[in-house]
Structure 1
Amino acid sequence: MVQKETTDHVCSWRFIILLLLITITCFGSLYNSLNHLSEVLNNAKDPNHMFAFLRILTTSDGTLPPFHVFIGFLGPLLGISLGFDAINSEQNNGSLVRIISQPIHRDYLINAKFVAGLIIIVSLFFTLNFLFVGFGILATGLTPNPEEFLRIIAFTLLVILYVSFWLNLSILFSIKFKQAATSALSAIAVWLFFTVFFQILINIIAKVFIPTNTTNPNHALAYKNFFLKLINIAPNQLYNDATTTLLAPTIRSLGPLSYSQTYGAIPSALPLRESLLIVWPQLTGLIAITILCFAISYYLFMKREIRA
């Protein structure tokens, strides 16, 4: 069943179109970053200038966003396209009853839908990231050190986790709604809300509730931390925070710091383990919502009454 679902995805026009879109935009970002890379590496004021291959993923001259920003924008669309008609299309075609009537467990179907989408996501993003590394080696003549390579692997796993969340969310909507168009619009609406409108809503709330004339720095810090927690409800914010920390080893905190916390700090790169500890709440949040979406989808599908 997994092989059949994977073949259906690979041969579908929507996957081919999204694959071409992601590939073209990512290679455009690669070309842009390689043209700008020598200037970045020669900038001694940049604390991350020694990490050439990480800078390939994050460098931009302003004409195109960097690679990780493109992935954060187009990755959810890929996940949604792989799952928005996973169940309801089978039901509308009449094939769902025939599949369920076979001597197999019912959960094999939803498991196969998720695993097939996951195989596509893993294959695509590991290929893209390794192509980036390969072109970086050819263009610069340098090789990534073990720290950079492990950070790129961690970034790839983070992207897979992030896109898998949107895959599970779209599968959930495909179970909940009978029409594929409705489930697709619902998933895209959630994506647009968190990508565009959620930040605007938080900024409006912050302007209303945060006092502008406070003289107590502890109160100002408390308000900032509170609204940072609100912003972290958005999956794309969790992805952005984790990505920024993994690809920029000099980042030591994702929130505001007081003078006493920064006093005496040495501006050096953190090891990967310390960066993972910083973003562990973000990683845990993404893992939790991904598992939650799949668990709800699994429960609704197993309890669903399927008729001819």
Structure 2
Amino acid sequence: MKREGSPLRGVHTVAVKEAADHIASARMHLIMLLLLLVSAGALYAAIGQIKETTAQNPYLFLQLLTAQRQPLPSFASLLGFLLPLLAIGLGFDAVNGEFNRRTLSRILAQPIYRDALLFGKFLGGLLVIAVALLTLWLLTTGVGMLLLGLPPGGDDLARGLAFLVTTLVYSGVWLAVAIAFSTLVRSPATSALAALALWLVLSVFWNMLAPLAAAALAPIDPLNPMSIVTRYETLQAIGRISPANLYSEIASILLDPTSRSVGPVFADQMEGAVAGAPLSTLQSILIVWPQIASMFAAMVVLFTLAYVVFQRQEVRA
């Protein structure tokens, strides 16, 4: 039977309804409270660190996101660790929750296609994460202006916005993971555990497994000094399978204008470069563009997997 009208008709309605449900849910309140408390601690420690080394920090507002004081990590590191929890919490029951509540058949009985339903759920979750990220970024900028007594410069704002957008893409990867598991697994508890297990492996244990895999794939030859470079490049390639490592590389370049590479740099490559000279925002984005594109591609592939599986599932009243 030929479908009538656009398959995406109703996406806006579903997205707004999903976003409203998420914002009003207890799980969202708990996760945002955790984010705010931990971020406030990291920001307080960063401001203390910046005040002690003001002369060595020409990029004060970027330092708010990267400075750290033991035992707290930096603000950017905390975002990379906690945002997947927010995304998984929003998407682990996106589809199987409707099955278990027996509401999916009622929704699809309306003039709305499955395309619009799944896409709307994804956009609704992404909208909530975007609002949360924008709120955190504005709070960080406002507190920094109050305590440092300086307004952010144009380059600080441009890099901060670029970092905000890439952080949203990173969160979208984990939201797509959660929605994919919610279509593959009928039990919401099992889909949540599966998504959390994948997050633990890729965010916590992957840096322990990558050196073992690199040693097996690229052994070092004592007679060939270039084998050390090959080992390092292999280690980087394996490590970049993890979205957390891609996000860490992006943050290190965007939030540090003096950084010029995410890999090994040889002396001939630095010929003509001014030591310590900052790069423009566009040049920094170009350096990490492959990482940004990889995360975006991973998000699209995972959502496509969920889409294909959802289209083939049978819906009964």
Q: Shared fold (TM-score greater than 0.5)?
A: yes
Q: Does 1:165 align with 2:173?
A: yes
Q: How big is the shift at 1:207?
A: 4.0
Q: How big is the shift at 1:2?
A: 2.3
Partners of 1:215 and 1:248 lie apart in 2 by: 37
Q: How big is the shift at 1:260?
A: 2.3
Query: Residue 302 of structure 1 is aligned with which of 281, 304, 311?
Result: 311
> Residue 144 of structure 1 aligns to which amino acid in structure 2?
P
Partners of 1:178 and 1:206 lie apart in 2 by: 37
Partners of 2:135 and 2:293 lie apart in 1 by: 25
Query: Residue 243 of structure 2 is aligned with which of 235, 239, 264?
Result: 235
Bigger drift between 32-41 and 164-173 goes to 32-41
Q: Does the 8 A contact of 2:218 with 2:234 survive in 1?
A: no
Q: Give 5+ residue unaligned stretches, structure 2.
A: 1-13
Q: Which residue of 2 is the match for residue 46 of structure 1? A: none
Q: Which residue of 2 is the match for residue 87 of structure 1? A: 95
> Residue 86 of structure 2 aligns to which amino acid in structure 1?
L
Query: Residue 30 of structure 1 is aligned with which of 35, 39, 43?
Result: 43
Partners of 2:188 and 2:62 lie apart in 1 by: 39
Q: How big is the shift at 1:7?
A: 1.7
Give TM-score scaled by structure 1 length.
0.94
Matches within 5 A, 1:1-80: 1-43=14-56, 49-80=57-88
Q: Which residue of 1 is the match for residue 197 of structure 2? A: 189
Q: How big is the shift at 1:30?
A: 0.9
Q: Which residue of 2 is the match for residue 274 of structure 1? A: 283
Query: Residue 219 of structure 1 is aligned with which of 220, 227, 231?
Result: 227
Q: How big is the shift at 1:284?
A: 0.6
CA offset digits 1:22-54 (Å, max 9, x no partner):
0111011111111111222223xxxxx210100
Q: How big is the shift at 1:298?
A: 1.4
SS at match of 1:42: helix
Q: Which residue of 1 is the match for residue 301 of structure 2? A: 292
Partners of 2:159 and 2:58 lie apart in 1 by: 14
Q: How big is the shift at 1:193?
A: 0.6
Q: Which residue of 1 is the match for residue 6 of structure 2? A: none
> Residue 43 of structure 2 aligns to which amino acid in structure 1?
L
Q: How big is the shift at 1:304?
A: 1.4
CA offset digits 1:80-129 (Å, max 9, x no partner):
00000001111111111111111222222112211110110111101111
Partners of 1:76 and 1:199 lie apart in 2 by: 17
Partners of 1:28 and 1:167 lie apart in 2 by: 26
Q: Does 1:145 align with 2:153?
A: yes
Q: Which residue of 1 is the match for residue 5 of structure 2? A: none
Give TM-score scaled by structure 2 length.
0.92
CA offset digits 1:113-149 (Å, max 9, x no partner):
1111011011110111111111111111111111110
Partners of 2:119 and 2:174 lie apart in 1 by: 16
Partners of 1:300 and 1:243 lie apart in 2 by: 34
Q: Does 1:115 align with 2:123?
A: yes
Partners of 1:222 and 1:275 lie apart in 2 by: 25
SS at match of 2:53: helix
Partners of 2:215 and 2:111 lie apart in 1 by: 59
Q: How big is the shift at 1:263?
A: 4.5
Partners of 2:167 and 2:190 lie apart in 1 by: 26
Partners of 1:135 and 1:200 lie apart in 2 by: 37
Q: Does the 8 A contact of 2:170 with 2:295 survive in 1?
A: yes
Partners of 1:127 and 1:215 lie apart in 2 by: 55
Query: How many residues are aligned here?
Result: 303
RMSD over aligned CA atoms reads: 1.4
Q: Give 5+ residue unaligned stretches, structure 1.
A: 44-48
CA offset digits 1:244-287 (Å, max 9, x no partner):
10001111111112232235531211111111111011001001
Shift in CA distance, 252/215, structure 1 to aligned 2, threshold 3 Å = farther
